[in-house]
Each structure stands twice: as C-alpha cells, then as structure tokens.
C-alpha cells in the first residue's frame, strides 16, 4: 500500500528530469474530412521518450504531470513544437491545422493567452492553423477565466474544440456562450455504435445538437469502415481514429498526406 505514493514520487521526479532534458516527442494523429476524404488537421499528442522504458503514451503520465503542476512546462513545449512543425509543413506546401490539448492549469496560468500569441509570432504559424482542445469539465470548472482566454483566442482567429464530449458535464446554456467551433465526440460512444442502439442514438443526437448550434462534429476513435459509413449517414463532419492511422511522427504525416492513402476510404462513398 505504501508502494503507490513512493512510485508516484519517483515518477514525478523522473518527469522533472524529463522536462530538463526534453525527453519528449510529438506524435500527430490525423483528422479526416468525412466527405472529401482529405486530411486538413492533425492533433499533437506528447509522448515521453524514457531512457529506460522507451516510448510512453500520454495516458500513462499526463494525469500525474497535471497533479504536480509540471504540465505547464510540458504544455508550453508542446505548443511551441506543434506550431514550429505546422510552419515547417506549410513551408513545404502542406497546409495542416494543428490541434493541441490544453490542461486546466494552463488555462489558469497568468498570461497564458499572451504566451500562446507570442509562440504564434515566434514560430510564424498562422493563428488560423491552430486549434486548441479543452474538455467540457475544464470549461465548466473555469467559467470566468475560460471565457476571457477563449474570447481572446477567438478574436485572433484561433479555433477552440471541446474534447471528449459527452463524458464530462456541460451546461448547454454556457456552451452556447463560448466561441467554440467544434465538438469531438468521445470514443466511448463510437466504440459500440454498430451494435448498441443507445450509443447510436446518443451520437446522432450530439451531431444534431452540434449542428443546431453551428458547430462542426468530429468523431473520435473510429476503427472500422462500418463506423465510418454510419457516421457519414449521420452527417458527422470529420473522423479521427485507428482506421485512418495511429498517431505517427511528423515525417510519416508528410508521407500520409502525400500518398493520399485515405483515397481508399473515399471509394466507399
Ligand atoms: P485525447 O486528446 O482525447 O486523444 C485521443 C486519445 O485516444 C489518444 O491517446 C489516441 O491515441 C487515442 N485514440 C485515438 N483514436 C483511437 C482509436 O481509434 N482507438 C483507440 N483505442 N484509441 C484511439 P493518447 O495518445 O494516449 O492520449 C491520451 C490523452 O492524453 C489525450 O486524449 C489527451 O487528453 C492527453 N494528452 C495528449 N497529449 C497532450 C498534451 O500535449 N497536453 C495535454 N494537456 N494533454 C495531452
Ligand atoms: Mg484531444
Ligand atoms: Mg479526445
């Protein structure tokens, strides 16, 4: 029983070392337009290149990094690296939007919106290329500060998405007041969409709700062509998931976009 806190303590000191020696790598997860089959954006997912354990997925360490407030430094590195990457792609003629996940601590950080605008200026990326993802829980728990920060981003042309929609709690009256451009439906609802009529109805209702509010809908965790076709029939706008690709590094994104591997998926329309 005493092992857990000790493990956490050594893990958090390892995260500190990782921050100092920048043991991070961004992987990018493509998002596809369901009608055109084109990839217009990718989501940056931070991975820990651990000297002994190898590549560690974000699910293994983000929560702990949030608990010990180290996410602020990691988050700044992620934002800067993702923006630099989007600019590099732009320079070789690949126009991609880049989505970056935000934590509550970042939104609450003093001067956060200025930091984001400085990073945009410094890296030369267009503000319109940047999309910031926050969960509904972060939004609802930080109403005042989120309103100020998100409105500032919106006025500069940066888009905001609500991540993992359906798993937290949202007040629709608040949701409609924020300058949000899209909802990402959590993959728990997509997983059994072919067999569970309740999940199918939930997803259909979220799509209608989002469209009624003028928002775009992205389905997360799409793994099969059946799910893709069903979502297309429901007028979902975009999909993300292992059907297209697992999260991959920057070079592989170039190959994927250039090879138009996704063409195979367009044939089903
Ligand atoms: P998320 O933003 O909702 O990212 C989606 C997660 O679902 C990713 O896991 C991705 O690999 C996984 N996923 C996507 N499609 C599929 C699919 O078809 N099937 C299955 N089984 N899984 C799929 P990952 O990379 O472990 O990321 C977990 C979470 O870590 C992310 O959830 C996000 O909340 C957080 N995260 C990642 N990078 C960052 C970051 O830079 N900053 C912050 N604050 N959080 C991050
Ligand atoms: Mg996300
Ligand atoms: Mg998500």
**Contact indicator for 28, 248 with CB cutoff of 8 Å:** yes
Which of 45, 72, 187, 190 should be mutated for ligand 1, with most atoms under 8 A from CB?
Answer: 45
Check if the beta carbon of residue 232 is closer than 8 Å to that of residue 265: no
Between 76 and 7, whose confidence is greater? 76
Q: What is the rounded distance in angstroms from the CA atom of residue 29 to the CA atom of residue 43? A: 5
CA of 127 to the centre of ligand 1 (A): 23
Residue 1, pLDDT above cutoff 50: no
Of 230, 252, 247, 149, which Cα lies nearest the Cα of 185?
230
Computed over every residue of the chain, the mean pLDDT equals 92
Q: Is the CB of 168 under 6 A from ligand 1?
A: no
- Ligand 1 pocket member 136 (CB < 6 A): no
| pTM (predicted TM-score) | 0.94
Q: For residue 269, is pLDDT > 50?
A: no
Phi-psi region of 238 (alpha: psi -120 to 50; beta: other; left: phi over 0): beta
Q: What is the rounded distance in angstroms from the CA atom of residue 251 to the CA atom of residue 206?
A: 35
Residues 108-146 have pLDDT tens digits of 999 999 999 999 999 999 999 999 999 999 999 999 999
Burial class from Cβ neighbours inside 10 Å (0-12, 13-18, 19+) for residue 54 reads: exposed
Quick one: CA dihedral 215, 143, 29, 189, positive or negative?
A: negative
Report the nearest atom of ligand 1 relative to the CA of 184.
Answer: 3
Quick check: CB of 166 below 6 Å from ligand 1? no
- The verdict on the CB of residue 163 being under 6 Å from ligand 1 is yes
Q: Is the pLDDT of residue 173 over 50?
A: yes
Q: Extract the tokens encoding 130.
A: 């940047």
DSSP string, 194-248: TT-HHHHHHHHHHHHHHHHTT-EEEE----SHHHHHHHHHTT--EE-STTT---B
- DSSP-assigned states of every residue in 69-120: TTHHHHHHHHHHHHHHHHHHHHHTT---EEEEE--HHHHHSTTHHHHHHHHH
Q: Residue 12 has which token pair?
A: 């958090």
Cα 247 to averaged position of ligand 1 atoms, centre (Å)? 9
What is the reported pLDDT for 6? 64
Question: Which pLDDT score is estimated for 260?
Answer: 62
Radius of gyration of the chain (CA): 19
In the structure encoding, which two tokens stand for residue 66, read together? Answer: 């949030």
Average pLDDT on 231-254 reads 97
């Amino acid at each position: 029983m005493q092992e857990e806190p000790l493990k956490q303590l050594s893990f958090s000191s390892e995260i500190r070392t990782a921050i100092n020696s920048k043991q991070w790598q961004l992987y990018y997860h493509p998002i596809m337009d369901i009608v055109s089959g084109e990839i217009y954006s990718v989501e940056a997912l931070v991975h820990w290149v651990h000297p002994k354990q190898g590549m560690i997925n974000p699910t293994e360490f983000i929560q702990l990094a949030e608990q010990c407030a180290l996410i602020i430094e990691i988050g700044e590195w992620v934002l800067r690296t993702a923006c630099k990457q989007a600019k590099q792609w732009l320079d070789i003629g690949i126009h991609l939007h880049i989505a970056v996940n935000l934590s509550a601590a970042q939104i609450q950080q003093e001067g956060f919106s200025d930091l984001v605008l400085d990073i945009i200026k410094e890296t030369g990326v267009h503000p319109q290329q940047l999309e910031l993802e926050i969960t509904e829980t972060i939004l609802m728990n930080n109403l005042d500060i989120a309103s100020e920060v998100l409105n500032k981003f919106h006025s500069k042309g940066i888009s905001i998405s609500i991540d993992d929609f359906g798993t937290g709690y949202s007040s629709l009256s608040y949701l409609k007041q924020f300058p949000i451009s899209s909802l990402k439906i959590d993959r728990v609802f997509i997983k059994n969409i072919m067999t569970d009529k309740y999940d199918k109805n939930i997803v259909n209702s979220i799509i209608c709700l989002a469209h009624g509010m003028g928002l775009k809908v992205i389905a997360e965790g799409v793994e099969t062509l059946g799910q893709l076709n069903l979502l297309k029939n429901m007028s979902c706008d975009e999909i993300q998931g292992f059907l297209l690709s697992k999260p991959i590094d920057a070079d592989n994104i170039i190959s994927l976009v250039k090879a138009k591997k996704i063409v195979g998926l367009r044939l089903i329309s």
